[in-house]
A and B are shown apart, each in its own frame.
Chain A
């Protein structure tokens, strides 16, 4: 747990890949990948007036269309919150309309 913010350390999400996070080089790679993930995620989310920020290497902040800021531990949580913000409708990567926009 972070002694300042009280964030509990959770088991790494499968999408975060493997690797030893204690190594300086590995930590740098993890951080770079997290920022890249956020950039890619925002390309998908922008047409829904949603966006995501990286937060302290431990979480993502999902910004909703009316100014909400929701802390999400991992990608699974991000998409679950996105579905909640959309009234229970999950973003569907098989949706032809979404693929057309991408």
Chain B
């Protein structure tokens, strides 16, 4: 398979500075060979106006709402780009940036890349960048489920408007950390941030997967705080928390797949992210990475990244208790393994 084109997703709530950020990014020479897909929403075509400087490479999706139509629009657009590039109708591009609307759920974009066989062969999700408006984050975190979703799926969170009066930056950082303890937090200076910090994350590149999972494990295991907190009844994300599971014995991969598919069917809305290094009895670990219902094809690594060969799984969930998940997985895994004779028989 030829080298796949990385796709970076820029998301963030309404007014959080996505377009300003994108405007700065597009001046960076690192993105000179990027195609940018923006979504125009509303009567004032502000996005288009700001991005006019890259008009030849900017494709505005006509539907107006990425979250509803992303599967067909994005599939058509990305396929068309491949064809036009092949025919020499457009310059060769080496990266795609997709900006979602402020109310969009970013997950369908990731799902689209995996579910369409042609796109899966030519494109690769590089990472999700989420802008967070530091002024309005405390309110949005309490009232807007879209805000929570966008923060939870982020690989990088960019805080914007931190220079404005009245911003409690430590509070905003805590709000983000509580929902997503594993994303790297960056601060934009008047919308400006280095493109290098946001692209080439290689979040799903095979040679970076173990490194990424290790970072998750370190972040969650090292912090005794369970990333859950109390909120009032209007809080749309009460109970969002991260935890890590650890299994010393190898896990049966066939049963694990069955168990996880079943868990996603029954609790998919509450399983926000999952990452793990699994000991399935092979030489190296199996790397697991998923965002809600979207589980990326797992890969086997040739070797473990360190001396710890236990299976470790990190989950960011909503309302689901760690003990319930652990007990369930242990029960299913036991079912897949030959019954051990009672100790009395062994001793006899």
A residues whose Cβ falls under 8 Å from a Cβ of B: 10-12, 14-18, 33, 36-37, 40-41, 43-44, 75-76, 78-80, 82-83, 90-94, 99, 102
Contacts and interface: CB of A to CB of B under 8 A. Distances in A.
Nearest to A37: B254
Given A18-B297, A99-B328, A11 B258 contact: no
Given A40-B336, A102-B331, A102-B335, A15 B115 contact: no
A83 B331 contact: no
Nearest to B335: A102
A40 to B, nearest CB: 5
Contacts of B260: 15
B264 interface: yes
Interface residues of B, number: 36
A79 B265 CA distance: 7
Q: Which of A10, A82, A91, A93 has the most CB of B within 10 A?
A: A93
A1 B204 CA distance: 29
The 8 A-B pairs with the shortest beta carbon distances in the complex, nearest first, are A15-B257, A79-B265, A90-B266, A75-B261, A14-B295, A92-B266, A99-B331, A93-B262
A40 B258 contact: yes
Contact of B257 (A18, A75, A93): A75
Given A94-B320, A99-B331, A75 B258 contact: yes
* Interface residues of B, dominant DSSP: helix
Contacts of B327: 99
B259 interface: yes
A92 B116 CA distance: 29
B247 interface: no
A41 B10 CA distance: 39
A83 B336 CA distance: 23
Nearest to A34: B254
Nearest to A99: B331
B265 A80 contact: yes
Contacts of A99: 327-328, 331
Contacts of A93: 259, 262-263, 266, 328, 332
B324 A94 contact: yes
Contacts of B335: 40, 43-44, 102
Given A91-B262, A91-B265, A91-B266, A14 B257 contact: yes
B258 A83 contact: no
Contacts of A12: 297
B253 A17 contact: yes
A42 to B, nearest CB: 11
Contacts of A11: 114-117, 120
